[in-house]
């Protein structure tokens, strides 16, 4: 029998893999990919809690859909920033984006 | 779905999802990473179907596997530089990042083991699509409209940021 804990453990594993990708990658697009993995893990959590703890309503699914909308907007703006960074520095390394550093 | 079949499907989907996610993070070629990301998204869509959230699974395939992944591949192709086989290197913090991630995972698993969930997989509505629609146009109508405005602002912002400025170059 697959319980809530199985889904939460899967989501936790996916989140941790995404976190490692977001922290340890040099390419800005790869960092965005890590963030997408983390958002997906959170969505699994939301839907699993909805399914197992409060099956009469669909609040978790609605929240997951809002997360998907925000993630889509985030990817569009993030990639525009990456392209702008590439145009100015000819690189997509996150370590190159240090204009605000003193 | 009941019994052994759903258990087997869960473990298959979990292995697919996590394996593809690890490939996304570990592969040295970022185009391969993007393709494995599509596989991860499809695995997550399968998990949604297992959780009986069919509408969310369809949205996942349409927006993530269809839209976001293509956007990411565009981003890779527009900013390609150097040799593609070394296009996805680790930075200098990868050891610390691994330690932090591992610590977080251990913390999550410990918390999971200690939490007594009073789960009751009660009667799940046959048709969640209708319930989702009613929730969006009922109690969540204001966030729904704000999300539409957010998407519009996001698109305009992306165009403004990615546009080549006049006089530059």
Top pLDDT among B115 and A102 is at B115
- pLDDT tens for B76-107 read 888 876 676 777 778 788 889 899 999 999 99
Q: Does residue B167 belong to the interface with chain A, where contact is any CB pair within 8 Å? A: no
DSSP character for B125? P
Fold of A4-89: Helix Hairpins (1.10.287)
Predicted model pTM: 0.89
Please answer yes or no on whether A9 and B47 come within 8 Å at the CB atom: no
SS3 A93: strand
From CA B35, how far away is CA B37, in angstroms rounded? 5
Q: Which residues of B touch A29 (CB under 8 A)?
A: 30, 34, 72, 75-76, 79
Domain residue extents for chain A: 4-89
Q: Which residues of B touch A6 (CB under 8 A)?
A: 10, 14
Q: What's the N-to-C CA distance of chain B in angstroms?
A: 60
Give the closest-approach CA distance of A44 to chain B in angstroms.
7
From CA B48, how far away is CA B3, in angstroms rounded? 18
From CA A97, how far away is CA A82, in angstroms rounded? 9
Give Cβ neighbours of residue B56 (< 8 Å, ≥ 6 apart): A43, A47, A61, A64, A65, B48
Please name the residue of chain B whose CA is at the shortest distance from the CA of residue A3.
B119
The pLDDT of residue B52 is 86
Top pLDDT among A102 and B131 is at B131
**DSSP assignment of B84-105:** GGGSS-B-TTHHHHHHHHHHHH
Of B54, B160, B145, the C-alpha closest to A69 is: B145
DSSP character for A27? B
Q: Does residue B141 belong to the interface with chain A, where contact is any CB pair within 8 Å? A: no
ipTM: 0.91
Q: Does residue B44 belong to the interface with chain A, where contact is any CB pair within 8 Å? A: yes
Please answer yes or no on whether B74 and A79 come within 8 Å at the CB atom: yes
User: Structural domains in chain B?
Assistant: 1-102 (1.20.120.1200), 126-169 (no CATH)
Q: pLDDT over 90 for what percent of chain A?
A: 51
From CA A38, how far away is CA A18, in angstroms rounded? 5
- pLDDT tens for A39-80 read 999 999 999 988 888 777 888 999 999 999 999 999 999 999
The pLDDT of residue B140 is 92
Low-confidence ranges of chain B (pLDDT < 50): none
């Amino acid at each position: 029998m697959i319980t809530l804990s199985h889904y939460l453990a899967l989501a936790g594993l996916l989140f941790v893999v995404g976190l490692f990708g977001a922290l340890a990658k040099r390419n800005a697009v790869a960092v965005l990919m890590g963030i997408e993995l983390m958002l997906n893990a959170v969505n699994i959590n939301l839907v699993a809690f909805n399914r197992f703890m409060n099956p009469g309503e669909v609040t978790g699914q609605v929240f997951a859909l809002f997360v998907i909308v925000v993630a889509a907007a985030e990817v569009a703006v993030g990639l525009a920033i990456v392209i702008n960074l590439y145009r100015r520095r000819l690189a997509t390394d996150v370590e190159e984006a240090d204009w605000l550093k003193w | 779905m009941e019994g052994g079949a759903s258990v087997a499907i869960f473990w298959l989907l979990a292995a697919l999802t996590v394996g593809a996610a690890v490939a996304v993070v570990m592969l040295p070629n970022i185009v391969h990473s993007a393709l494995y990301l599509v596989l991860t998204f499809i695995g997550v869509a399968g998990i949604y179907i297992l959780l009986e959230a069919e509408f969310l699974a369809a949205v996942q395939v349409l927006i993530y596997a269809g839209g976001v992944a293509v956007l990411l591949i565009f981003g890779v192709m527009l900013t390609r530089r150097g040799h593609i086989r070394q296009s996805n290197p680790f930075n200098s913090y990868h050891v610390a990042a691994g330690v932090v991630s591992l610590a977080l995972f251990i913390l999550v698993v410990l918390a999971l083991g200690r939490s007594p969930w009073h789960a009751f997989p009660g009667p799940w509505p046959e048709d969640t699509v209708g319930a989702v629609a009613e929730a969006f146009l009922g109690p969540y109508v204001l966030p729904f409209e704000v999300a539409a405005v957010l998407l519009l602002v996001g698109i305009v912002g992306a165009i403004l940021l990615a546009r080549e400025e006049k006089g530059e170059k």
